[in-house]
Amino acid sequence: MLGLGQSLSKTDASANASAEASGARVSFSNTKSLSFDGVNDTMEFGSNPNTTFQSLLGADSFTMSYWMKAADIMDSSGANGRSALLEEFAFGPTRIVNLGIIYPPSHSTTSFQGAMSFAYFDGNEGGYYFNTFSTNLSSILADDTWFHVAYTSEVSGGTRTGKIYINGVDRTASDASAADDFSSREFKNFKIPTQNFNGGIGAYEELSLDEISFYNTALNGSQVAEIYNSGVPRDELAVHGSRLVGYWRLEDNGADGSANSNDFAITGATFSTSVPT
């Protein structure tokens, strides 16, 4: 079940998929997004919040997709920048989790300047599971403007390969991912959108999110460009129903429209009529 007024039964989803395949227009509307105030708003998985993400995507290839906007997308006030979904850093042993963090143009490391990062490092396991940086996005992203993010992680021949797409275009600058199964690992204090330090929230992010989707495969460039759809979200349940392992429309609630029903529990964040168009 999707958000209020947006429910699709399995029969409806099958009918929509058939209609799209035949070129017919599919009924779909995106009317709400979720806004976080940067003070104490969060969203987390309602069941097993610290392990659900890994159990859905950690065993093999995957794709994460979402839409985001922020008032100060290239924050120049500190080294950490914006976090689209989550940043976690812990000592003893070292653990680093970056899910779409954007570093400011003023960062002291040149390769980090204006770049987005997806990374998971675990000191207990001896290194990175994935580690990918984008190009400098300073000339691409704008304040208070919706943009689309897709991260693909493909396992093939014993190696993981990561790619970052912004608005349907591959913006990958570097990738040092490794092949491994992290489905049984635990992320401490998995709350969206926050920066977590040593098991506690160190900062909350002020931003808006919409149309989050997880896929059990690494989509190719053409498929990612189709999700971006020239800046207008489409019905991913109708197009990729069998590949979706998580689908959050954020239409008045945190319901997961995939078969897994991993709903988000929302604390403080409010729904807005601002959506990608």
Helix or strand (DSSP H, E) at 132: strand 127-134
Could you give the CA distance from residue 257 to residue 3 in angstroms, rounded to a whole number? 8
30-34, 79-83, 120-124, 171-175: least confident range: 79-83
Q: Which of 171, 183, 198, 192 is nearest to 55 (CA)?
A: 183
Residue 71: domain span = 10-17+29-272
5 assigned to some structural domain: no
Question: For the stretch 34-55, what's the b/e string if a residue is b when 16 or more beta carbons lie within 10 angstroms of its beta carbon?
Answer: bbbeeeebbbbbeeebebbbbb
277 assigned to some structural domain: no
Could you give the CA distance from residue 252 to residue 274 in angstroms, rounded to a whole number? 13
Split into its structural domains, the chain has a count of 1
3 assigned to some structural domain: no
146 assigned to some structural domain: yes
Q: Which of 32, 42, 122, 143 is nearest to 86 (CA)?
A: 42
Could you give the CA distance from residue 125 to residue 233 in angstroms, rounded to a whole number? 38
Look at residue 82 in the predicted model and tell me its pLDDT.
67
Asked if pLDDT for residue 104 goes beyond 50, the answer is yes
253 assigned to some structural domain: yes
24 assigned to some structural domain: no
Stretch 177-201: mean pLDDT: 91
Asked if pLDDT for residue 155 goes beyond 90, the answer is yes
Whole-structure pTM value: 0.88
52 assigned to some structural domain: yes
Asked if pLDDT for residue 15 goes beyond 70, the answer is no
Q: Across all residues in the chain, what is the average pLDDT? A: 88
Residue 33: CATH number of its domain: 2.60.120.200
Asked if pLDDT for residue 24 goes beyond 50, the answer is no
126 assigned to some structural domain: yes
Could you give the CA distance from residue 126 to residue 249 in angstroms, rounded to a whole number? 36
Could you give the CA distance from residue 47 to residue 112 in angstroms, rounded to a whole number? 34
